[in-house]
C-alpha cells in the first residue's frame, strides 16, 4: 500500500508564485523578458523547467543590464522569490520600477514571510533584542533579518539560543523572538521554553507556517504506520530537510529523493507499506510520478507474496496471526499456527494481571489472535504478542467510548504529576487533576486503587492518548439527582443528612445534593442564642420538609418534633401530686423558678418554700440549689407548673408525734 500525506507538496505561497509564473509564460510576447531574482523555489527540477522555457534566475549584478533593456523598449518582469529579498535590494528594485514603467517588479514573497518581516521591522530597535530561530544562510532568514534594526541575532537551535542567554544576555533587555516559517516544530517549542526560563518578559511570535506544522505532524503520524518513507524535495530546501530529519528519527527506513529516478528500490527491500511526503517546493507532478512508480512495485511484490506459499500461513514481522493453544506453562503459552513454526506468547506480551495464572486465562484448544514480533528459522519459534492486538482493540473501544460519550468504570492505578492514570478496558487514560472531582489542593493519591465512573472527553489518536473526566460524570449525576429531587419533593418528607454549615440564623443540612435550611427557631423548643447549642457541623440529623420553592431552589426544614417538646416530655413523666427533684434556675421577690426537665420550669411561690413566713427567697434558696418539690398544679393550656416545698414538710400534729416518739 502506498499512502501520500494530505499536505505534501506545494503550500499556497509556492503555488501562488508558480501559478503566476506559468500565466506569464503563457502570455509572453516577443518583447517580453521574464526573470526570477534567485531561484523562485527550492526545487532544481522545477527551476530547470522554468529555465528551459526562458525564465532564468538572475542575481543583483544582472539588474542594471535588465533595466537598460527595459529603457530600450523591452517589457521586463522581475519576479521576487517566495523567500523574499533583503530590504535594501527591495527598495532599490522598486525605485527602478518607478523610474521606468517597463521595468516591472512582482513580489511573490509568501504571506507568512511578509508577516515575519513586518514583525521584525516593528519589534526591533529602541533597545529591543530581536531573535530569529532559523537557518542563518537561508534566503528567507536573510530577508527577514535585514528588516530588523538594532541588536538582532539568528540562532539555528535552542542550544545556540541558550548559549547566548547564558553568556551575553542581560535580563533587563526586551526580547522579541520569531521563527523561520519552515522551522522544526519541536525545536521551536524547545527554544520557547529556553527563552521563558531566562527571560520573563519576552515577546514571542508563533510564525511557523500552519501548513508546515500540518505537514510535519502528518508525517509523524504516517511514519508510525508504514515500513518505509519517501521524502520528496530539493536538496537545498530547508523545509524538506527538516521533514526528512523528522521522518528519519521515527522511521529509520526513510529516504530523501528529488524524482522517481532517485527511488532506492534496493534499500526499500520487501517493504510494501510505503509512505510519501514532500516539501513545500515539490510540484504535484513529481509526487504523482513517485507514487505511481512505488504503487507498481508494491502491487508486483504483493502478487509475488500471495503466490509464494499460497497454501501456507504467511508469517512475517508485524503480521496478525491466529493459532490454537497447545501448551500452557507459568510463563508462556504455545500456539499451533498451522505452519512448521510454533508461536510463543510470554506473560510480558499479554495484558493480564500479575496475580493471574495463565491457566485461569487460557485453556488447551483456545484460539488466540496475536501479532508477530520476531521469527527464527533456526529454532522454528515465532515470538508473538497478544498485547499488541489487545492494545489496538482496546484503543478502538476507547475511541468508541469517546464518540458515544459512554460512562465507563475505570480503575485508578496511580497518581502522577498533574493528575491520575486510570485503566479502561486495558487502555491507559489520563485524568487531569482538574477533572478528578477533588478539590484543588486535595491529595490525588487517595484515588489510587479505587474504581471511578468517567467519560473519555478527548482523544489524541495519533499518539494513542486519551483524556478522561470523573468530574463530568459527577456533575451529570448531581444534575440528575437534583432533577429527581425537585420532581419528587413534598412537604413532610423526612431526610437524614449531615449538617454542612452553621449561621447565626440556622443550620444547613445536606438532604441529597440540596442544602436545606433549619431555621434557628426550628432547632429547639427552647430559646437558643446560636444553632451550635443544638448541633455542630458533621452531625447527621433527621429533618423533615416544612416548605419549598422549586423556582428559587430553596427548602425550609424542621428538626424539632412533638417527641422533642419539653412540655410533652414533662407530661409523659410527671403528674400532679408527684414529687420530683428540681434545680433552682432563678430567684425573684415572689418565689423561685426551678427546672423540672430541660425546657420546663415550675414556680415555687414564696409561700410554698417554708411552713413559716420568710422575709426573702434569697435567704433560703440560690441558683443551682437542688431541692425536692411537689407538683401542686399544672396549667396545660399555658404550659405552667406550680411547685411546693412546703407541702413536703410535716404538719404540727406530725411533728408533735415525731417528738413524742423520740422521747
Strand partners, 427: 424
Contact 564, 578 (CB under 8 A): no
Measured CA to CA in angstroms, residue 642 lies from 146, 163, 460, 650 at distances of: 107, 97, 82, 20
Longest dimension (CA), the chain: 163
Contact 155, 194 (CB under 8 A): no
Cell digits for 458? 478527548
Active-site residue (options: 39, 62, 140, 220): 140
DSSP string for 367-396: EEEEEEEEE-TTT-EEEEEHHHHHHHHHHH
Contact 227, 272 (CB under 8 A): yes
Q: Please tell me what DSSP assigns to residue 324.
A: E
The 3-class secondary structure across 514-583, one letter per residue, is CEEEEEHHHCCCCCCCCHHHCCCCCCEEEEEEEEEECCCCEEEEECCCHHHCHHHHHHHHCCCCCEEEEE
Nearest to 209 by CA among 175, 238, 172, 233: 238
Contact 81, 89 (CB under 8 A): no
557-563, long-range: CB < 8 A, 24+ apart = 557/495, 557/509, 557/511, 557/516, 557/517, 557/518, 557/522, 558/518, 558/522, 559/507, 559/518, 559/522, 559/523, 559/534, 559/535, 560/522, 560/523, 560/524, 560/525
The 3-class secondary structure across 389-414, one letter per residue, is HHHHHHHHHHHHHHHHCCCEEEEEEE
Q: Is 140 a catalytic residue?
A: yes
Q: Which residues are catalytic?
A: 140
Amino acid at each position: 500500500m502506498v499512502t501520500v500525506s494530505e499536505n505534501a507538496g506545494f503550500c499556497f505561497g509556492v503555488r501562488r508564485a508558480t501559478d503566476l509564473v506559468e500565466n506569464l509564460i503563457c502570455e509572453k510576447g516577443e518583447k517580453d523578458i521574464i526573470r526570477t531574482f534567485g531561484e523562485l523555489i527550492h526545487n532544481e527540477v522545477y527551476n530547470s523547467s522554468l529555465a528551459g522555457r526562458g525564465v532564468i534566475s538572475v542575481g543583483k549584478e544582472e539588474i542594471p543590464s535588465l533595466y537598460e533593456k527595459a529603457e530600450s523598449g523591452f517589457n521586463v518582469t522581475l519576479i521576487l522569490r517566495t523567500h523574499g529579498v533583503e530590504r535594501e535590494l527591495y527598495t532599490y528594485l522598486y525605485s527602478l520600477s518607478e523610474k521606468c514603467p517597463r521595468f516591472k517588479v512582482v513580489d511573490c514573497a509568501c504571506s507568512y514571510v511578509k508577516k515575519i518581516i513586518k514583525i521584525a521591522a516593528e519589534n526591533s530597535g529602541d533597545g529591543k533584542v530581536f531573535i530569529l530561530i532559523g537557518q542563518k544562510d537561508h534566503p528567507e532568514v536573510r530577508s527577514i533579518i535585514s528588516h530588523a534594526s538594532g541588536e538582532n541575532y539568528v540562532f539555528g537551535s535552542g542550544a545556540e539560543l541558550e548559549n547566548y542567554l547564558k553568556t551575553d544576555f542581560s535580563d533587563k533587555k526586551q526580547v522579541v523572538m520569531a521563527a523561520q516559517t519552515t522551522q522544526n516544530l519541536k525545536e521551536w517549542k524547545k527554544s520557547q521554553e529556553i527563552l521563558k526560563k531566562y527571560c520573563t518578559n519576552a515577546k514571542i511570535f508563533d510564525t511557523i507556517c500552519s501548513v508546515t506544522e500540518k505537514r510535519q505532524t502528518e508525517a509523524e503520524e504516517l511514519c508510525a504506520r508504514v515500513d518505509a518513507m519517501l521524502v520528496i524535495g530539493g536538496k537545498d530546501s530547508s523545509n524538506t530537510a527538516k521533514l526528512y530529519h523528522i521522518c528519519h528519527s521515527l522511521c529509520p527506513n526513510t529516504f530523501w529523493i528529488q524524482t522517481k529516478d532517485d527511488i532506492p528500490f534496493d534499500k526499500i527491500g520487501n517493504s510494501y507499506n510505503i509512505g510519501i511526503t514532500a516539501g513545500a517546493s515539490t510540484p504535484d507532478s513529481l509526487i504523482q510520478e513517485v507514487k505511481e512508480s512505488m504503487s507498481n512495485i508494491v502491487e508486483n511484490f504483493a502478487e509475488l507474496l500471495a503466490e509464494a506459499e499460497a497454501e501456507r500461513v504467511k508469517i512475517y514481522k508485524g503480521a496478525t496471526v491466529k493459532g490454537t493453544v497447545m501448551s500452557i506453562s507459568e510463563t508462556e503459552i504455545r500456539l499451533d499456527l498451522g505452519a512448521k513454526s510454533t508461536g510463543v506468547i510470554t506473560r510480558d506480551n499479554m495484558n493480564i494481571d500479575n496475580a493471574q495464572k495463565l491457566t485461569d486465562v487460557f485453556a488447551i484448544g483456545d484460539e488466540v489472535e496475536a501479532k508477530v514480533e520476531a521469527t527464527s528459522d533456526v529454532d522454528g519459534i515465532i515470538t508473538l504478542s497478544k498485547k499488541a492486538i489487545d492494545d489496538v482493540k482496546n484503543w478502538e473501544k476507547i475511541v468508541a467510548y469517546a464518540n458515544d460519550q459512554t460512562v465507563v468504570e475505570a480503575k485508578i492505578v496511580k497518581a502522577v504529576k498533574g493528575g491520575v492514570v486510570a485503566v479502561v478496558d486495558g487502555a491507559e487514560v489520563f485524568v487531569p487533576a482538574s477533572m478528578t472531582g477533588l478539590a484543588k489542593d486535595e491529595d490525588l493519591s487517595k484515588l489510587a486503587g479505587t474504581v471511578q465512573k468517567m467519560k473519555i472527553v478527548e482523544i489524541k489518536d495519533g499518539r494513542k492518548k486519551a483524556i478522561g473526566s470523573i468530574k463530568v460524570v459527577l456533575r451529570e449525576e448531581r444534575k440528575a439527582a437534583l432533577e429527581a429531587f425537585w420532581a419528587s419533593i413534598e412537604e413532610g418528607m423526612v431526610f437524614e443528612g449531615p449538617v454542612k454549615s452553621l449561621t447565626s440564623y440556622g443550620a444547613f443540612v445536606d438532604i441529597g445534593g440540596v442544602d436545606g435550611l433549619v431555621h434557628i427557631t426550628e432547632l429547639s423548643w427552647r430559646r437558643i442564642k446560636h444553632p451550635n447549642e443544638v448541633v455542630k457541623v458533621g452531625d447527621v440529623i433527621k429533618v423533615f420538609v416544612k416548605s419549598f420553592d422549586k423556582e428559587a431552589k430553596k427548602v425550609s426544614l424542621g428538626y424539632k418534633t412533638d417527641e422533642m417538646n419539653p412540655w410533652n416530655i414533662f407530661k409523659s413523666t410527671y403528674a400532679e401530686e408527684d414529687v420530683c427533684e428540681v434545680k433552682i434556675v432563678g430567684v425573684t421577690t415572689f418565689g423561685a423558678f426551678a427546672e423540672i426537665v430541660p425546657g420546663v420550669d415550675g414556680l415555687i411561690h414564696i409561700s410554698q418554700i417554708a411552713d413559716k413566713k420568710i422575709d426573702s427567697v434569697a435567704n433560703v434558696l440560690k441558683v443551682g440549689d437542688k431541692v425536692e418539690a411537689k407538683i401542686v398544679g399544672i396549667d396545660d393550656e399555658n404550659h405552667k407548673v406550680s411547685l411546693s416545698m412546703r407541702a413536703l414538710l410535716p404538719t404540727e400534729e406530725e411533728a408533735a408525734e415525731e417528738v413524742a416518739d423520740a422521747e
